[in-house]
């Protein structure tokens, strides 16, 4: 696949969260700027964007926003645009809606978390995600990873990936689900329609898409590191360095 065939040239990068589970490291530093292996977490994601050939990153900011803006300012590729949530933290869903209504997000767009790490499989993961996108069938396409390739993750799993690619959430009476959402998706404007006002989780929109049969997933072909707590840093660094 040529890079010109990407379904979008823009990604929204989620960088507004408080990072409470990463305390005390986040007391004075926003989580996307916490270093792992000598590199800020957000840089791992930016490298994926640049390698895939995306042209623009829309970064939402709320907690210690001046640090993130200063860290990214002056970079030429990709171009950085900021969605300012200083007045109110809008969560993942509300953050997307604010940027969309400001005219910053084309249809469709990539949406990526800035506070975890993945290693690509045979090629750039965003190219694989783009290859799978089908706007006729999908409102969103989520990147999920099998539990056995989710390092340091202690959760029960998020989704069942059906044979046709649709996603089903882990039910309230289920002990586990085989795949975990790893913070990367392609989103259509259709997913964002009739959204709630104010802060809300993207799960609100995903649940409607599930009910309509329009939430899909694709398996990440590499590895993923859940960087939720300070204790996750050392083992991630050891793995990344080949230790």
Assign 153 to helix, strand or coil.
Answer: coil
Helix ranges (H only) for the chain are 41-52, 65-72, 91-101, 125-132, 189-192, 203-211, 233-240
Q: What is the pLDDT of residues 88-146, one digit of tens each?
A: 999 999 999 999 999 999 999 999 999 999 999 998 999 999 999 999 999 999 999 99
Residue 155: pLDDT band with limits 50, 70, 90: confident
**Residue 53 has which token pair?**
């050939």
> What is the structure's pLDDT at 243?
54
What percentage of the chain has pLDDT greater than the value 70?
Answer: 98
Taking the domains of the chain in order of start, what are their residue ranges?
Answer: 6-240
Choices 3.90.220.20, 3.90.550.10, 1.20.58.390, 2.40.30.200: CATH for 6-240: 3.90.550.10
Please give the pLDDT value at position 168: 95
CB atoms < 10 A from the CB of 156, how many? Answer: 12
Tell which phi-psi region holds residue 145, choosing left (phi > 0), alpha (psi between -120 and 50) or beta. Answer: beta
CA distance 76 to 93: 28
pTM of the model: 0.94
CA-CA distance, 144 to 161, in Å (whole number)?
9
**pLDDT band at 1, cuts 50/70/90?**
very low
Residue 4 has pLDDT above 60, yes or no: no
Q: Under a CB-based contact definition with an 8 Å cutoff, are residues 180 and 147 in contact?
A: yes
């Amino acid at each position: 696949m040529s890079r010109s065939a990407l379904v979008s040239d823009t990604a929204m990068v989620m960088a507004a969260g408080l990072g409470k589970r990463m305390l005390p490291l986040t007391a004075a530093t926003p989580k996307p700027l916490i270093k792992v292996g000598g590199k800020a977490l957000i840089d791992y994601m930016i490298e994926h964007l640049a390698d895939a050939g995306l042209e623009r990153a829309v970064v939402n900011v709320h907690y210690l926003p001046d640090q993130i803006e200063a860290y990214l300012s002056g970079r030429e590729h990709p171009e950085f645009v900021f969605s300012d949530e200083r007045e109110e933290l809008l969560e993942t869903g509300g953050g997307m809606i604010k940027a969309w209504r400001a005219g910053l997000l084309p249809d469709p767009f990539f949406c990526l978390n800035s506070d975890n790490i993945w290693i690509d499989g045979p090629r750039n993961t965003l190219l694989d995600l783009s290859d799978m996108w089908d706007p006729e069938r999908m409102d969103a396409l989520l990147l999920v990873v099998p539990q056995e390739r989710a390092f340091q993750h202690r959760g029960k799993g998020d989704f069942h990936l059906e044979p046709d690619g649709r996603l089903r959430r882990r039910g309230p009476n289920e002990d586990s689900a085989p795949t975990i959402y790893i913070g990367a998706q392609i989103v259509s404007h259709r997913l964002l329609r009739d959204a709630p006002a104010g802060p809300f989780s993207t799960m609100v929109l995903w649940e409607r898409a599930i009910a309509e049969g329009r939430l899909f997933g694709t398996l990440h072909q590499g590895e993923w590191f859940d960087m939720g707590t300070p204790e996750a840093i050392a083992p991630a660094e050891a793995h990344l360095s080949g230790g």
